[in-house]
Amino acid sequence: MRLLISALMLFALHTVAASTPALSVDHGQVRQPMPGRTVTAGYFSLHNASADAVQLVSASSPLFARVELHQHSHKDGMMRMEQVGRIDIAAHSSVTLEPGGLHLMLFEPAAGLSIGQSVPVLLQFANGQQLEILLPVVAMPKR
Ligand SMILES: [Cu+2]
């Protein structure tokens, strides 16, 4: 009987591991910092396939001294941005970090970042979960 339970548990674990990951990211990018600038932005879509809401609470990267979660907002007709403490992703839904909205703010790159290089970013969630993602460096769009 004990053996049967063990086998069932193994099967259950295997099923969980084989299913689609609860959290995933696509359309990631980090903009190459402008010459002489030490700050840039990162964007991606974060998908939560799980039945529970999750909260992204922080991010870090070995290639940047500091990473913050930011939100753009309009105040008195001016575009501003501010740090946010967390980004909520409801169950079975997605949140997109994009220009003019939520974004990663990355400070003080370790070295010159080249186009196409992958920036590893570790996302930390309130439930203790972590997700390591790779964001390719793209050229800053011309205005
Ligand atoms: Cu910002």
> pLDDT of 16-27, one tens digit each?
554 567 999 999
If you measure from the C-alpha of residue 105 to the centroid of ligand 1, how many angstroms do you get, rounded to a whole number?
5
CB 41 within 8 A of CB 104: yes
In a domain, 78, yes or no: yes
CB 114 within 8 A of CB 45: no
Count of domains for the chain: 1
If you measure from the C-alpha of residue 33 to the centroid of ligand 1, how many angstroms do you get, rounded to a whole number?
13
Tell me the CATH number at 78: 2.60.40.1890
Helix (H, G, I), strand (E, B) or coil at 53: coil
Name the residue type at position 43: Y
In a domain, 7, yes or no: no
If you measure from the C-alpha of residue 60 to the centroid of ligand 1, how many angstroms do you get, rounded to a whole number?
15
In a domain, 6, yes or no: no
In a domain, 41, yes or no: yes
Cβ-proximal residues to 21 (8 Å cutoff; 6+ apart), any chain: 49
Task: Using the Cα atoms of residue 130, residue 29, residue 32 and residue 143 in order, give the sign of their dihedral.
Answer: negative
Range of the structural domain that residue 53 is part of: 21-138
Give pTM, 2 decimals: 0.83
In a domain, 103, yes or no: yes
Task: Tell whether the model's pLDDT for residue 62 goes beyond 90.
Answer: yes
Give the DSSP letter of residue 90: -
